[in-house]
Structure 1
Amino acid sequence: MATYGSDQLAALADPSRRAIVEALRAGPRAVGELAADLPISRPAVSQHLKVLKEAGLVADRAEGTKRLYRLEPDGIAAVRAYLDRMWSDALRSFAEHAEATETAEPTEEEQS
């Protein structure tokens, strides 16, 4: 897992991988089930799942002759924590800028 969630964000940059993650929100699914609901082939779904698994966003387990994929809570939590930090930093920066602007003396142009 890379610093600041970069592996996870890179994995989620692809719309097909985001669609797979969204589909897995409902619970574990096999590759064939995922492929049936997506406009991509079963081998493509497998490749996308490999990327998501390497990024720590999904995990798999064998069940009979198939593999079931599910969301990996720790990986999803890492993405959320990264976005929360970014949001908090952006809000803090905005508040500091607003306070500085509010307390700054108006320029001659602003007074006109």
Structure 2
Amino acid sequence: INVENSVTIVEDLVAAVIGVIEKRGTGVFHAVNPGAMRHRDLIALYEELVDPTHTNEWIEEKDLLAQCLVAKTRSNNIMQNRRLPEIGIHMRPIGVALRDCMEKYAREVNKVESP
């Protein structure tokens, strides 16, 4: 499946929640990193930074249903986080945040693999 979705990096979510609490924000906040990410882009980043030998096969959403791998079509969303900036809270763009997250993950994986 290669569709765009919003992504929330947990590190940024925690900082945003703390910010909302400190600023006493009320109401609904969509705490997503600005932008969207395609599944293929995520896997390409993983292969670049973590495991260049990784392989996978791509499947179309319609084939998931046809092969009874899912009961219903997926819900794909691109959400806006307009309210956070209104109260002075800014989350990193998804390209920046996800690369940082994947770089940290790669360092941890390398620690485990190295004696």
Which band: TM-score by shorter chain?
Answer: under 0.3
Higher relative contact order (CA 8 A, sep 6+): 2
**Structure number having the greater helix percentage:** 1
TM-score by length of 1: 0.25
TM-score by length of 2: 0.24
